[in-house]
Amino acid sequence: MSKNLFNMHNYGYVLKSIKKNPLLTPVKSSLNQKTILISGGTRGIGLSIGKSLASKGANIILLGKTQDPHPKLENTIYSAANLLQAEFPSSYVQGIACDIRKEEDINRCFTQIEDQIGKIDGAVLNASALCLAPTLKQTKKEIDLMSQVNINGTFMMAQKCLEQIKSSNHGHLLTISPPLEMINNDDWWVNHLYYSMSKFNMSLMAKYWAKEFPSIGVNTLWPRTTINTAPVRNILGGEDMINISRKSEIMGDAAAAIFLSDPVKCTGQNLIDDEVLVSLNKDVEKYRVNPDIKEKDLMPDFFC
């Protein structure tokens, strides 16, 4: 996708009145002795979620594809786990190389988890492929990648996760995908139909897993604004867009808040990062990459 596809001057972030969501009231003060798996955990939002969950005492399993250093990407899955372990030495942290497109990788991953730590209590399905193009320019390679990661990979990974989480007494599964109520927003379809379709598939899965597994809190989480991540920096808009974005820590702190809530009550929700934190009386202004940028000048993210 061209970095110029999004003209930043065509968009503005509008502050809104947010009604607090009482379902997010925490029922736990920590996640001690809980083990949470995060796909796409090498960097960005996935790693920030790992940090926030570890700060609450959780054991963390990070999954990712990057095993060797990349010139444009931070960390390998192993260095990411080492960073997390160094910052939170009281938590067990494991980095496992896993391509969620491959069933044998997923099976190997869960065999390793069972051998080393037992079962998981929660999961964050963050791994995703971003290939933004209009219909006539979307290549078969891109279509296959988004289908295999965002749809097939998410489903196959969730099958393994849900099988274990259902026996937890505080089980949560969170997909990083857009709110279903925004499905009628044409702006986020006409320029990249296949990507949007694949991401809304993740949200549809979460909606019905919440009904199929009533003892598990199954929700979606999405950012209000663009987030300082490699895709935003390398694909969407470079440093100019990063300057009007929020830090990935806002997604991490929102995810941790969801995992502290009652999984039986807080389920089937399409949640936005700042709405989660405002519901808990948390300050959202501290997450701006550039503190001199006003909230109203931040760049809105997809579907928000």
Task: Report the distance separating Cα 172 and Cα 6, nearest Å.
Answer: 35
> Distance from CA of residue 223 to its chain's centroid?
9
Distances (CA, A) of 46 to 39, 132, 208, 214: 7, 21, 23, 25
Q: Which of 78, 194, 195, 287 is catalytic?
A: 195
What burial class does residue 62 get, using C-beta atoms within 10 Å of its C-beta: 0-12 exposed, 13-18 middle, 19+ buried? buried
Dmax of the chain from CA atoms?
Answer: 52
Report whether 37 contacts 122 (CB < 8 A): yes
Task: Report the distance separating Cα 101 and Cα 121, nearest Å.
Answer: 23
Which of these, 120, 128, 151, 149, lies nearest to 259 by C-alpha position? 120
Catalytic-residue membership of 194: no
Task: Report the distance separating Cα 254 and Cα 266, nearest Å.
Answer: 13
What burial class does residue 139 get, using C-beta atoms within 10 Å of its C-beta: 0-12 exposed, 13-18 middle, 19+ buried? exposed
State the alpha helices, DSSP H only, in 173-219.
Answer: 193-212
Strands (E), the chain: 35-39, 59-64, 93-97, 122-125, 172-176, 217-222, 270-272
Task: Report the distance separating Cα 109 and Cα 157, nearest Å.
Answer: 10
Which of these, 250, 236, 251, 245, lies nearest to 290 by C-alpha position? 245
Catalytic residues: 195
